[in-house]
Amino acid sequence: MSLTAVREETSETGSPLADQFARDGYAVARGLFSPQEIAEIRETFMAQAASGPVEGLSDGNHKSLTPDDPLSWYPRMMHPHRHPELPVGPLSARYLLDDRLHRLLAEFLGEEPVAAQSMFYFKPAGARGQELHQDNFYLRVQPGTCCAAWIAVDDADEENGGMMVVPGSNDLEIACPQKADAARSFTSDYVPVPEGMEATPVTLQAGDVLFFNGSVIHGSYPNTSRDRFRRSLIFHYVPETSEALSNHYASLRFDGTPVAIPAATGGGPCGTSQPMGPH
């Protein structure tokens, strides 16, 4: 099964995308960012990573990896928009609050969105994937859910570990994850595909944006290409009216002002406290 994406430019109102998002839990805005913008993002993050992981920015799990693991040199970068002292900081903040994303997110969420998180994945050749999971297990938005904007910085397909989504899983409850296969996934959580559903690849070109809600089961498989990166700039958003959010996140309105959302409490789907660390 393959994704038939609705092109963003088919409607000024965004209604075809909104219809697909409501039905399937995800939609693709094709060519939302220009080649020049994507080149700026790619070059800025590659320059930041030229000397290896950056303390306080790169995912600290890289310290436990062996040198032959590609992710030991290229771990994902967490919350780059919170680092105004680094070149990636202002750039991430600018795109995090981009008007083009705002317009679509407001339609998908049905209300004003606020920004909660930024991440950058390098995923070089040979890197493991990230097993199937649900984002709102980590963000713990209440009521409702979050929404991701996954910006392709490289062409992404099955060979280099492009995204997989499970259509219709947007209507599912958040599941307590099982243990992932560490040979295939650099993260430890795994949500199986429910009976009657299927994980389908989403083929993207650089500049496309994949949006999906926080209940959608999604992930990616290893990058089996010889020499291709599968870089992506990823943002998470929540409704401004959210009454709870994991305490790992600090929200911003699209004018850059902060939003105070109370910290989520309770046991969650696993009956424990919230997951350790941000998604």
Tell me the two tokens of residue 233.
Answer: 């700039």
* pLDDT (tens digit per residue) in 26-64: 999 999 999 999 999 999 999 999 999 999 999 877 777
| pLDDT computed for residue 2 by the predictor | 36
**pLDDT confidence band for 277 (50 / 70 / 90):** low
Report the DSSP pairing between strands 147-152 and 189-190: unpaired
- Exposed/middle/buried for residue 205 (C-beta within 10 Å: 0-12, 13-18, 19+): middle
Residue carrying structure tokens 């600018």: 94
Name the packing angle between helices 15-24 and 99-109 (round to 10°).
Answer: 50
**pLDDT confidence band for 5 (50 / 70 / 90):** very low
Average predicted confidence (pLDDT) for the chain: 92
Tell me the two tokens of residue 192.
Answer: 């199986």
Cα–Cα nearest to 204, from 132, 151, 127, 134: 151
- Exposed/middle/buried for residue 47 (C-beta within 10 Å: 0-12, 13-18, 19+): exposed
| pLDDT computed for residue 15 by the predictor | 73
* pLDDT (tens digit per residue) in 131-177: 999 999 999 999 999 999 999 999 999 999 999 999 999 999 999 99
Report the DSSP pairing between strands 130-133 and 147-152: unpaired
Delimit the domains of the chain by residue range. 8-259
What is 8-259's CATH superfamily?
Answer: q2cbj1_9rhob like domain (2.60.120.620)
CA 181, CA 132: separation in Å to the nearest integer?
A: 11
| pLDDT computed for residue 275 by the predictor | 56
